[in-house]
A and B are shown apart, each in its own frame.
Chain A
């Protein structure tokens, strides 16, 4: 397992191997991870959740150390303390002002000051919207800044405040045209945030185009209409059929009728979820497929079915463990991400010098508060 002991130190240039070995590899095992997961769970419970910042750092330390890129492992250099500080910052700068604004807003509305009250409600919501964009940007920046490979880290020279505005207007524009612009806004935002990122001295390039996504997006977009028409037809047919048997009374439908209706509705959301995953799988393949770093090109090869398996596995894990299995979700997602990630091209280790980007002393507090993923 000590794959770093290959004679990489004596070569100047390192080309990723032929197809049989991916540039990315994950060699953790859940047995090895279990002691980390269970002690994290224990400490999270006894500290009423405060330990989760340290738990996250320990989890990432393990996952990164079990992830190989070319010939060397990744290393997570972030700490629980800085995530905790990030969490406190969010509490002080955001959650408490938000709480006060909404309380005062309610009081104003109750006093009949509807305009002031409405402003106090709307302004924090707009602020959340803006900060969600900033948070997503900063989480990627934070994670790159805490990821070492051969002693070199990544980061970004900008702090994401401008990206927050892009996030707002592109998201609104995407939804404005009856939601038809969503693929455009997702791809455009992805390009924008990754173009601001770097690893060592090299900047990420990303120039994905949204048009290959439109076919699957239209499938997702139109499926509710198709499904509703289908369900209405089925229910009508059933009602009609039952009536002919003389058993259906529209004023007093049978339990079977309701059951069929509920099953149909559940199926509707289930299928809609799958159709969305089909779109999302394609989205991820397209955007990652257009990413470059120095002489490296990236690729993500997870198909729709892989995403469905991931999702169903997550649900099964949570249900079977009554929710306690959440401590394994990070492991599953990271493994999924790494095993489907590919890179091609070459990298010159002497050109890969230390990043000069600035690092904040606090972690991804905002993102944590909004409970979003980084990528």
Chain B
């Protein structure tokens, strides 16, 4: 039978007094701590846990009392050492696998997660039923209160234009936002907003048709849903749920689609114009105008242009789509176009749109 007597010191966890003495072991399941001061403590081996005291030595605590500390100052015989518990280095799972294997495993899992979260918008976005998207959007945005400009005439004109552009659309609604900026956005839930500033800069209803067609394209191609998913996924993944996600809608409103998405939306717009017999020339003229204006610095639409393909390229796309000699119908008649232009001035109870 093994027998060992090893010099050691210990703290009993009751007072800060340090006890020195020997640890006696007779091969059984208990250690006897015999202090030079005559104290005697019995400690079951099964009750010990290893704690790191430093790189040079380890010490042992008790499951029952985490103030207890035992540190050997002499050599522990192998037979006893084999019965003593081991410690953790990186944590239970990682120690079990070994650091390199664990690191590779975790990296693999993380990469897979990243891949899912980064690609999910592309394959998941189009599979979300439009009715859900509408509900999500409504929950986020509501009906915008009185911030949209309405007159009976402008509502009718806008409705006619949207009906012509995309009669089959499942969820899209188009409104005029009382904001003096040259911009238009597609928001969650199929809510397309044309800013009054853009309407005032336009010269004819065909220009408006091209821009609205473009934004409807974002909704129809599910870009909005994809952007929502992307933003949500990234904020969860990056643990940034506490930082910027609070600005969710504003983020979505300002979100930039990829240039590919912009091209898709332009293509959609062009094909809808053709389908509804509206001339793409107005849209081409609008981009030409943007191109010239963007030469100067500090224009208010500079931001809009940054995330979009170059106006020149877009102008050419729409310009090429014009069929010479074809008899196009204007998108709206003069009265209807005027009604839209005057919607914000003539709406008696419209409010300032101050969230942007």
**Which A residues have a C-beta under 8 Å from some C-beta of B?**
1-2, 5, 8-10, 32, 39, 42-43, 45-49, 51, 54, 58, 61, 65-66, 72-73, 75, 77, 80, 91, 95-96, 98-99, 102-103, 106-112, 148-153, 200, 347, 349-354, 369
Contact = CB atoms under 8 A, between A and B. Distances in A.
**Range class of the B interface residue count:** 35 or more
A80 B15 contact: no
B242 A111 contact: no
B15 A43 contact: no
B73 A150 contact: no
B106 A43 contact: yes
Contacts of B14: 151, 353-354
10 contacts: A43-B106, A46-B104, A47-B106, A54-B90, A73-B54, A80-B91, A103-B140, A110-B249, A112-B145, A150-B11
Contact of B103 (A42, A80, A349): A42
A349 B139 CA distance: 64
Given A5-B73, A200-B16, 6 more contacts: A75-B69, A112-B351, A152-B13, A152-B15, A351-B15, A353-B15
Nearest to B67: A151
B51 A77 contact: yes
A39 B102 CA distance: 11
Contacts of A5: 73
A73 B106 CA distance: 35
Contact of B9 (A9, A73, A99): A9
Interface stretch (B17-25, B211-219, B263-271, B303-311): B17-25
B30 interface: no
A110 B51 contact: no
A83 to B, nearest CB: 12
Contact of B91 (A54, A99, A102, A109): A54
A349 B15 contact: yes
A46 B67 contact: no
B52 interface: yes
Contacts of A102: 246
B113 interface: yes
Contacts of A58: 90
Contacts of A108: 142
Given A75-B53, A110-B142, A354-B67, A99 B246 contact: yes
Interface string B48-64: 00011111100001000
Nearest to B108: A46
Nearest to A101: B246
B162 to A, nearest CB: 22
B115 interface: no
Nearest to A72: B18
Nearest to A152: B16
Scoring A32, A46, A107, A151 by chain B CB atoms within 10 A of each residue's CB, the highest score goes to: A151
Nearest to A54: B91
B90 A8 contact: no
B239 interface: yes
B67 A106 contact: no
Given A48-B113, A152-B67, A43 B16 contact: no
Contact of B11 (A2, A48, A112, A151): A151
B145 A111 contact: yes
Given A54-B91, A73-B53, A95-B241, A46 B66 contact: no
A66 B54 CA distance: 7
Interface in B26-80: 51-56, 61, 66-69, 73
B200 interface: no
B110 A47 contact: yes
Contacts of A99: 241, 245-246
Nearest to A42: B103
A1 B56 contact: yes
B12 interface: yes
Contacts of A152: 11, 13, 15-16, 67
Contacts of B51: 75, 77
- Among all A-B residue pairs, the 6 with the closest Cβ atoms: A151-B11, A112-B145, A111-B142, A352-B16, A9-B18, A150-B16
A25 to B, nearest CB: 13
Scoring B68, B104, B141 by chain A CB atoms within 10 A of each residue's CB, the highest score goes to: B141
B67 A153 contact: yes
A102 to B, nearest CB: 4
A358 to B, nearest CB: 14
B15 A2 contact: no
B106 A352 contact: no
Given A43-B90, A153-B67, A106 B16 contact: no
Contacts of A149: 16
Contacts of A32: 55
B144 interface: yes
B146 interface: yes
Given A95-B241, A107-B142, A112-B146, A349 B18 contact: yes
A10 B146 CA distance: 83
B76 to A, nearest CB: 17
